[in-house]
Structure 1
Amino acid sequence: MTFRWRLTLTYALLLALTLLVAGGASYAGLRHTLYAALDAGLRADAVSTARLEARPDLEPAPQVAASLDAMNRQQPVRVTVFSVTGREVDRGPSRVGFVPRTGATQVGGERVYMLRVGAGWVQASVSDAAVRASLHAFLWQELLGVPPLLLLSLAVGYLLADRALRPVDQVSDLAARIAAHGQPGERVPEAQGADELARLTRTINAMLARLDEQLTHERLFAHASAHELRTPISVIRAATSLALEGERTPDEYRAALAQVNEVSADMGTLTARLLALARSARPAGNGDVNLADVALLVSELHGEDARARGVKVQVTADDAATRGDFDALVMAAGNLLQNALRYTPRGSVVRVQSGVRGGDAHLTVQDAGPGIPEGDVPRLVRPFQRGERTAQNADSSSGAGLGLALVQAVMTAHGGQLHLESAPLSGLRAELRLPPRR
């Protein structure tokens, strides 16, 4: 059974129970009202007769009394006066006999009201056939009206369930198509409004957009990786093939092996950075981190490189508490500092700062290099992408274009942001922004 029918039948069952309870309550209320009105009329007749019996001066002559008794027997309401012992003394005869019980009661098809007076009892009785007929008609109206109402509710309930679950069907069909073809480019038609299903369709579309973006990046990453690795592999094969073509002198073999060793070292570095990029999307830890410690550590780790390049590193380490993977954040900040040292002219200063600004923890690396055009920023955070300033700095040619991609991946995994701002006279300002520690 489909979820639509389960939902519809559940709704119909609840409606049937509601109608049953409401119908029972209505029937009970109508019965109580009708019998209460009947009892009130009988009580009024009994009280009126009791008042007449209490006044002997109003007692009619025997001939008149006989006529009144005959008239009483022809009325729907039968009034009878009983002695204390239950013997009929006036009016009558009673249709139900003596009932020694004060108040209203039911005797067969008669509704009886007994009133106790000083000299005995006054009984008023009437047939309740009219009340029972009214209740019977009301019950049949309810029984005949419920089935059509239930059928109508089933149809309306199914239509509502079908309309409500249509976005779920669309999501299911789309997921099946993506599973079959592996192309998450399609989107679910977004439901209007702000209810749960509208949020579901928007969330699914956002997830698919993110998935499509990730798959696109992965395809580009795979293609770029193959391209980057193809060149050193070709160099190694060419060097070894040339060395094996004929007899070579020991110096020629050493030259070939040196070339292979150099290219292999570059391949090892590239492979390590590729592995780091793959791991950066899933930080190993999520502990308390102070970006001031990160700034101090990366300046120390790259201090020797800075001195060799003739560049001064100036550190301003103010507290900036956040949460994350300390090693991954050190790697990200280290990449920024390494890039800054690579592109900063000899004798210049690279500034590393940490602190809190605008409620976020930040770590900033400011170099004095040529900067990058603003339009190149989105491209440079993707793997194997290099900017124009690479050509302006001979020492930068060894880069594989993975540094900023690594930083971007680490920031995405930490819920942070990487901001790059370039100015013609002040170089590139790279800033890591992370949520503060709560």
Structure 2
Amino acid sequence: MPKLYFNGKRTADLPLHYGHVPAWLAQRMSALAGPVIESIILEYGHAAVLTRLSDPLWFQAFGAVLGMDWHSSGITTSVMGALKRALNNRFDDLGIYVCGGKGKHSRETPNEIVRLSDRTGLNGTELVRSSKLSAKVDNTAVQDGFQVYLHTFVITRSGEWAVIQQGMNELTGMARRYHWRSGMFTSFVETPHSFIYGHNQGEILNLTDKNAISTKNAILDVAHQDLQYMLPEIRKIVMPTHHNVTAADVNLKRLGSILALAQENEVRRFDDLLLMEGVGPRTIQSLTLVSEVIHGTPARFTDPARFSFAHGGKDGHPFPVPTKVYDETINILKSSVEHARIGDSDKATAIKNLTVLAQQLEHNFEPDPSSFDKVIEKERRDSHLYGGRTVFGKSKPPRNGQLKLF
């Protein structure tokens, strides 16, 4: 059989991380993920949630906003776990449900789909088939050296679905994430993926490639299977293997406009608009990045590392998770959703306008590259004031002028 190249548009590195998400962060991730998704549903509908989940850059930015390490494979497991905890017990209300997970939980996906279908009248047989086929294609039809170990199947009340699954290659220490979206393809073996998210590592066996027709014909002669062909579209995004966040990882013009908006004088300027009495500049910084996750267009997510400036990262990169700011962001977003549900959209509009205001500032903003490290240094120095935490412990005040994080 010939070996074929992936030659799509974008791929990205996802270094394998084997750590765990501490309880204090996992609880907050679910608490924030829920109102973010609910805000998208209220503003744009269920289909928009699936479209965002099938975009790897949006997904990576979402995970960074939730406080996960901005570039690692752990984002996939933790984000989908947070969504499952936040959404499933509110299906009757929100109309979106997450099945599956990592390892043994992925094998429970068919049973979870059937139980939901029995309860709602959805076509469980077809949904289970879609789940199994998506896993088979990524594990068997595309043999790229990555063994699928995580499979999640997201269903809306109308029966639309998305798949987010991930494979690992322990020899290279890399992961590859696969994104599917119902309605974006006509056959499971004919341009099925919305994206494949991973590092291009050279030659692979790809039975969905159009150039594999002779190979497939030989297989058909033996197995009499109706295999189709077409190269899946791939977004090629080069994600670095380094753990820390550098200026090169971030669009400084975009980040700079957000930081400028969050300064005291800007907050005072927009008090009446924001309708958020007493909210400080650090919370505005987080809310603006969360606002962009909810309302931003696809072109705004090309630098997912920028979104780690909302709530840091559990390993301390770019800085410890500011739990006090995180909790304030959760409370404000929950409040805006609750008010929007009863027809009072002032807070939701104010949060949406943060994205607009940041983009307006961005037009004429000239970033100072030398200030990037100073921003991170300040965040780390002040981390103890914001309840900073990492997997290593709580942030402590600087001693004798020396910065001490843990």
Given the two structures, how large is their TM-score scaled by the length of structure 2?
0.18
**The structure with more radius of gyration:** 1
Higher relative CO (CA 8 A, sep ≥ 6), structure 1 or 2? Answer: 2
Structure in which a larger fraction of residues adopt helix: 1
